[in-house]
Amino acid sequence: MEGEPNNENDGVVDEEILKILRDSLKMKITEDRKMPSKVRLNKALVSTISEFMSCYRLMGYDIDGNPINLSITNNKMEQSAIDNMFIQEFGKFMGSRATQ
């Protein structure tokens, strides 16, 4: 018949695999719920931004007013480039504030 296992062992193996998958998904959901909201926010930000940029620095505040500082790079050269760019932009910002 169509849709039925070829022999008795196929049905048993499928049920065992489904049980293992269900148990692992339950454990994953439980772990995610235990994770602090700040860690979840950081993971969400990193995964979203990393889809569009290979290296970046994100600085700001979350909804509760806590500072966020994420720096994602793949090697030392990218880290140096990000650091230099930050120093240059911060210098420009402070220079513009001093002349006001």
pLDDT, tens digit, 9 for 90 and up, residues 52-92: 888 888 888 877 788 888 888 889 999 999 999 999 999 99
Residue 34 confidence class, pLDDT cut points 50, 70, 90 = low
Report the predicted TM-score, pTM, of the whole model to 2 decimal places: 0.49
**How far is C-alpha 18 from the geometric centre of its chain's CA atoms?**
28
Task: Give strand pairing partners of 67.
Answer: 61
Question: What confidence tier does 1 reach under pLDDT thresholds 50, 70, 90?
Answer: very low
Torsion sign, CA atoms 72, 76, 81, 87: positive
